[in-house]
Amino acid sequence: MNTPTHASNADFLHKILEATIHIGLLLIITISCFRIVEPFIFPIVWGIIIAIAIYPLYKRLKQALNGRENLAATVFTLAFLVILILPTVLLTDTMVVGVEMVVAKIREGSLTIPPPPENLKHVLIIGEPLAKFWSLASENIHDALLQLTPVLKIIGSWLLSAATGAGMAILHFVFAIIIAGILLAHSSGCNQTAQAIAQRLAKEKGADFASLTEATVRSVASGILGVALLQSLLAGLGFMVAGVPAAGLWALLCLIGSIAQIGIAPVLLPIIIYLFYTADTFTAVAFLIWCVPITLIDNLLKPILLGRGVKTPMAVIFIGAIGGLLSSGVIGLFIGSVILSLGYELFFLWLHYETETDEPINP
C-alpha cells in the first residue's frame, strides 16, 4: 500500500536534487561570467549610453557615406576619440600635477599666499571676513591651515584620489568610445536584441519599456552630460590659455557642478576675480568674455535637448551624479545620473500600468 507513496516521494526528491544541481551550476556559470566581465562593466555601460545618445547623428553620417555602416562607425570612433580624449588628457595632466602640488604643500606647510588686495574688504558681506582670513594666511599659513584642518583633510584626500583615478577614467572613456563604435556598426542587430530582451522581461509592455529606456538615456546623456562635458572642456581650455594653475582640477569641478545642476558660475567667478588681481587686464577681460557664453550655453541647449525626451526631475539627476561620483569616481559621475534617471522613469512607467490590463492607472 505504501509503495506508490514511497515512489512518488523518491521521484519528488530526485526532481528537487536535479533542480538544485541545475540552479547551482547556473549560479556558478553566472558568477564566473560576472567576475570575468566585472572590470569592463563601466566601459560597457558607458559605451551603450554613448551609442544610444549619438545614434541620430550616426544615422546622418551613415546616409552621407552611402549606407556604409562600418565606415561610419570607424569615422565616428576616431573623431570622438580626437575631439574628447585629446583635451581631456591635457586637462587631466594639469589636474594631476596641480592636485599633487597643492596636497604636498598643504602637508608640508610650505604653501605661500600673497597678501589680499586693499579693496577686498570693501566687498559687501564677505569682503571683511575674507580679507581677515586672507591676511592671516599670507602672514602665517600654519595658523590659517589649523582653522581649516578638518575641511582640508577631507578635501585633500578627495582631490588626491580624484587625481589618481583620472588616468583610469580616461582609459574607461577610450574603451567606452570603442565599444560605442562597435555597437553602432551593428546597430540593427543590437536593436533587435534589446527589443527581444524587453519583450522577454515585460511581455506586451516590453516595447513601451524599450522606447522609454531609449528616450531617457538619449535625453539625459545629450541634455545633461553632453552640455556639461562641452561646458567643462571649453572652460578648461580657457583656464589653460589664461594660465590658471591646475586648469584640469577647475575643469573637473565645472563638470561636477554642471552635471549636478549647480552650474559652473561658482567655479568661474573666483577664477575671474583671481585673474583680475594677478594677470594683465587684457587676459582677465578676455577670459571674462570667454566665460559669459560658456555659462549661458546650458540655458540654450538644455531646453532643446531635454525637450526631445523625458523630463526627469533635476533632483534625481543631482542625486545620481553625486552618488555615482562618490561610489565610482569620475566615470560614475556620468553613469550615475543616467542609471538613476532611467530607473526613476521605468519605475513610474511600471507603477502607472495596471497588473491585468494595458490601461494606465488614473493618478
State percent of the chain over pLDDT 70: 68
Q: What pLDDT is attached to residue 110?
A: 60
Assess contact for 250 and 244: CB atoms under 8 A.
Answer: yes
Q: Which cell numbers hold the place of 191?
A: 536593436
- Tell me how crowded residue 78 is: count the other CB atoms within 10 A of its CB: 12
| Averaged pLDDT for residues 337-358 | 72
Backbone angles phi, psi at 140, to 5 degrees: -145, 90
| Averaged pLDDT for residues 156-160 | 60
Residue 174 pLDDT greater than 50, yes or no: yes
| Averaged pLDDT for residues 312-332 | 75
Q: How confident is the model at residue 28 (pLDDT cuts 50, 70, 90)?
A: very high
Residue 360 pLDDT greater than 50, yes or no: no
- Give the angle 263-291-235 at the CA atoms, nearest 5°: 70
Please provide the DSSP assignment of 152-200 as one string.
HHHHHHHHHHHHHTHHHHHHHHHHHHHHHHHHHHTHHHHHHHHHHHHHH
Give the integer Cα–Cα distance in Å for 327 and 145: 29
Higher pLDDT, 45 or 356: 45
Mean pLDDT of the chain: 75
Q: pLDDT by residue (tens digit) across 98-114?
A: 666 666 665 665 656 66
Give the integer Cα–Cα distance in Å for 165 and 336: 17
Backbone angles phi, psi at 360, to 5 degrees: -65, 145
**Alpha carbon 86 to chain centroid, angstroms:** 18
Residue 341 pLDDT greater than 70, yes or no: yes
Residue 150 pLDDT greater than 70, yes or no: no
Q: What pLDDT is attached to residue 62?
A: 84
* Cα distances (angstroms) measured from residue 9 to each of 5, 17, 21, 24: 6, 12, 18, 22
- 322 CB contacts (<8 Å, ≥6 apart)? 260, 336
Q: pLDDT by residue (tens digit) across 244-253?
A: 877 777 887 8
Nearest in space to 49 (alpha carbons), one of 326, 333, 325: 333
pTM: 0.63
Residue 32 pLDDT greater than 70, yes or no: yes
